[in-house]
Amino acid sequence: MERILEVNDLHVTFTTYGGTVQAVRGVDFHLDRGETLAIVGESGCGKSVTSNAIMRLIPSPPGKITKGSIVFKGEDVTTYSEKKMRAIRGVDISMIFQDPMTALNPTLTIGTQLMEGLKEHKKITRAQAKEKAIEMMDLVGIPNPEERLKQYPHQFSGGMRQRIVIAIALICDPDLLIADEPTTALDVTIQAQILELFSTIQERTGVSIILITHDLGVVAKIADRIIVMYAGKIIESGTKREIFYQPKHPYTRGLLNSVPRLDTKEELKPIVGTPPDLFSPPKGCPFTARCPYAMEVCDKVYPAQATISDTHHVDCWLQDERAKWLLAAKSLQT
Amino acid sequence: MKRMLKYTLKRLFIMVVTLWVIITLTFLLMISIPGSPFNTDQASNETVQANLEAHYNLDQPYYIQYLLYIKSIATFDFGPSIKQPNQTVNDLLSRGFPISFELGIITIALAVVSGILVGIIAALRHNGFLDYVTMGIAVLGISIPNFILATILIQQLAVNLEIFPTATWRSPAHMVLPVLALATGPMAIIARLTRSTMLEVLTQDYIKMAKAKGLSPWKIVFKHALRNALMPVVTIMGTLFAGILTGTFVIEQIFAIPGMGRYFVESINQRDYPVIMGTTVFYSAFLIMMLFIVDIVYGILDPRIKMHQKGGKSG
C-alpha cells in the first residue's frame, strides 16, 4: 500500500508570557492510502495541534514546529514555503472543522464557499465549477443542490452545514482528509449519519482520513487504526481490534472504562486527576500521577516503546519483563 | 424584489413622519425663542415693522403660520429670505448645498476608506510597530475636536509653511485643510473599530477554514474577513454622518466656506424664519436619506438581516 503520510519525531511548542508550552513532544505515525487513522485522547493532549501541524495551520507566533518532519507523499512539508504550502492546502490535504455553525462564513453563499477552493487551485470555468459543486452536494446528500447553492449558511441546519463543510473539503479530490472532531457538535442521530457519510466517501474516493476525536464510539465505527495520545506523546497505537480488545496502557484502559455502557449496571469509572502541566512536562511517564499501577521508575524515566505486535506499540513500564509480576498481582486484586 | 419595494415604501413613509416631527419641533423652538427678524433694525418704526410682519405673514396666529410652513415645504418652495433681500431660500440652498455636499462627501469618503484601511493594517500587524503607531495617532484624532485641529492646521500648514491656502473654497488645494480637519475624528473612530472587529473576525473558524482551503492572504482578508468586520462599522456610520454634518457648520465658519452651514447659523442668529426652516428641513432630509442608505448597505453586507418580517426557511 502506498504511504501517504509519515510523521517523524514531531515537536510543537507555543511560546506564551507564562513560558513555553510543549504541546506535542515527539510524535511518530504514518498513514496509508485509503486508511482511516483515529487519534484519541482527552482535551489538551495535542491531537488538534498535531493535525494543524500537518496543515501548517498553527498560528505562528506563538506556535512553532521545533523538531521533526512531516513527510507527505514523499516530501517534507515542514520545509515548504507558505506559498508552496498554500498549493497543497485544500487540494492534497483538506480539513473538516469541529463546529459547522462557525466554520462557514455567514456572509457568503454556500455556492461561493464551495467553489472558491476549486477556482483558486484548478483552471476551470464557472460552469464546470458549478457542475462539480452540484456533484459534491449530491455526494454528501444535500437535496436540491442547484437551488441550495444560492443560499446562505443560516438557511441550513447543523447537520446540513457539516455536510457542506465536508463537501468543501472534498471538492478538490484531496488525498488526505483531516477531520477534527467532526461530530462533536452534532446531535447523536446526525452523528451517525455523518459517520456513515465518511464511510461512503472513503469507499468512493479512496481518500485517507485522520480522525481526531475523544469519542471512542465514533472511533469504533470507522477507524482502521488508533493512536492514543497523552500529554503530547503517543502512548499507545494499534489496530482498532488491538486497542479495543487488548489495551495495554493503563490510560487506554481508563479511556475505555469511561465509555458509558448499556449492558451493565456498573458505575462509570472516570480517570481521576488531570493531565500534567505542559509548561514543564514530567521527565518520566506523564500518566504516573493518575496511574493505578504506577511504580517508582515511572516517575523518573520515560518508558521505551514496547512492541506487542507489528501494529501494536505501547509506551509503558508494565511491559518491561521486570514488571510482569505487578500486573499479575493487580489483576488478582480486582 | 417585491419585498424590497414594500420595504422601501414603508421606510419612505417612516421618513416622512420623522421629517414632520422635526419640522414641528423646529417650528415650536423657533416661535419660543424671543425676538423677531426686525428687532435689530434701528431704522424701522412701528408701522414699518407691522407692514413687514404682514408681508411675511408673521402677524398671523401661530397655527396659520405653521400651516403655511408645512405648505411651503410640501411644495418645495421655502419662500423669500427675510434678511437677504431679493433672495429666496431656494436660492440660498441651491448655492450653498453643492459646496457643503462636496465638503461632506469628500470627508466621508476619506474617513471611511482610509479609516478602514488603517484599521485592517493595524489588525494584520497586531501588537506590531504599525499597530501601535496608527492606534496612537487614532487616539489623538478622536481626542482633538475638529475646530481645534482646524486652527492648528491653518497655523502650521497654511500660515507657517504656506503649503495650503488658509480659507475659502475654490480649488482642490483649498479643500485639503477643511476636509482633513473634519475627517480626522471619524477616520480615527472607524480605524479603531475596524481594527478591533477585524481582530475578532480573524480568529473565527471560517477564517481558519478559508486558510485550510489554501486561499491567498489577500482573499482571506478582503473576501472573508472584511465583510464581517465591517458590520459594526456600518452600524456607527449613521452617527458619524450626523457628526460630520454638524461638523460642517463649524468648519465652514472657520474656513469661510460659502456652504449651507453658514446660512443655517446666521439664520438662527437673525431669526430669519424661512431660512431656518428651509435649511433644517434640508439637513434633516439629507441625514434621513443617508441613514436609509446605511440600512440598505447593512442588508447587502449581511444576508441574515432581513428587509422583511418573514424569515427564510431553514433546512
Q: What is the mean pLDDT of residues B133-158?
A: 92
pLDDT in tens, B202-250: 988 899 999 999 898 889 999 999 988 988 888 888 888 888 888 888 8
Give yes or no for A156 touching B (CB within 8 A).
yes
Cis previous bond, A62, omega within 30: yes
Chain B interface, best mutation among A16, A107, A144, A161, by max B CB count within 10 A: A107
Q: Report d(CA B153, CA B163) in Å as an integer.
A: 11
* CB contacts < 8 A (A, B): 92
pLDDT at A332: 60
Give yes or no for A89 touching B (CB within 8 A).
yes
Residue B63 has pLDDT above 90, yes or no: no
Q: Give exposure, B88-116, as e/b (b: 16+ Cβ within 10 Å).
A: bbbebbeebbebbeebbebbbebbbeebb
CB contact under 8 A, B214 and A105: no
User: For a pLDDT cut of 70, what percent of chain B falls above it?
Assistant: 95
pLDDT at B312: 41
Q: Which residue of A has its CA nearest to B231?
A: A107
CB contact under 8 A, A105 and B212: no
Q: A97: closest CA among A194, A233, A10?
A: A194
Give yes or no for A60 touching B (CB within 8 A).
no
Q: Report d(CA A281, CA B85) in Å as an integer.
A: 88
Q: Helix, strand, or coil here: B257?
A: coil
From A207's Cα to the closest Cα of chain B, the distance in A is 17
Q: What is the mean pLDDT of residues A122-133?
A: 89
Helix or strand holding residue A306 (H, E):
strand A305-307
Which residues of chain B are within 8 Å of residue A109 when distances are taken between CB atoms?
303
Give the three cell numbers for residue B55. 408681508
Q: Report d(CA A40, CA B154) in Å as an integer.
A: 68
Which residues of chain B are within 8 Å of residue A55 when distances are taken between CB atoms?
212
From B199's Cα to the closest Cα of chain A, the distance in A is 14
Chain A interface, best mutation among B200, B206, B223, B297, by max A CB count within 10 A: B206
CB contact under 8 A, A117 and B312: no
From A98, A117, A157, residue closest to B213, measured CB to CB: A117
CB contact under 8 A, B212 and A156: no
What does DSSP assign to residue A77? G
Q: Which residue of A has its CA nearest to B201?
A: A105
Interface of B with A (CB under 8 A): 204-206, 208-216, 219, 223-224, 227-228, 301-304, 312-315
Q: Report d(CA A194, CA A191) in Å as an integer.
A: 5
pLDDT at B6: 82
pLDDT in tens, B248-294: 888 998 998 988 888 888 888 888 888 888 888 888 888 888 888 88
Give yes or no for A91 touching B (CB within 8 A).
yes
Report CA torsion sign: A271, A276, A278, A282.
negative
From A90, A102, A152, residue closest to B214, measured CB to CB: A90
Report CA torsion sign: B121, B127, B129, B134.
positive
From A169's Cα to the closest Cα of chain B, the distance in A is 8
Question: Taking the CA of residue B52 as centre, how many other CA atoms within 13 Å lie in the half-sphere pointing to its CB?
Answer: 18
Q: A118: closest CA among A173, A54, A178?
A: A173
Residue at B107: amino acid letter? T
Q: Which CATH superfamily is domain B97-258 in?
A: MetI-like (1.10.3720.10)
Residue B209 CA: distances (Å) to CA of A296, B20, B206, B248: 46, 50, 5, 45
Q: Which CATH architecture has domain A3-92+174-333?
A: 3-Layer(aba) Sandwich (3.40)
pLDDT at B41: 55
Q: A103: closest CA among A114, A87, A88?
A: A114
Q: Which residue of B has its CA nearest to A114?
A: B213
Q: What is the mean pLDDT of residues B189-193?
A: 95
Q: What is the mean pLDDT of residues B87-93?
A: 87
CB contact under 8 A, A102 and B228: no
Q: What is the mean pLDDT of residues A237-257?
A: 90
Task: Provide the ipTM.
Answer: 0.84
Which residues of chain A are within 8 Å of residue B223 when distances are taken between CB atoms?
108, 116
Q: A136: closest CA among A160, A151, A114?
A: A114
Which residues of chain A are within 8 Å of residue B229 when distances are taken between CB atoms?
none
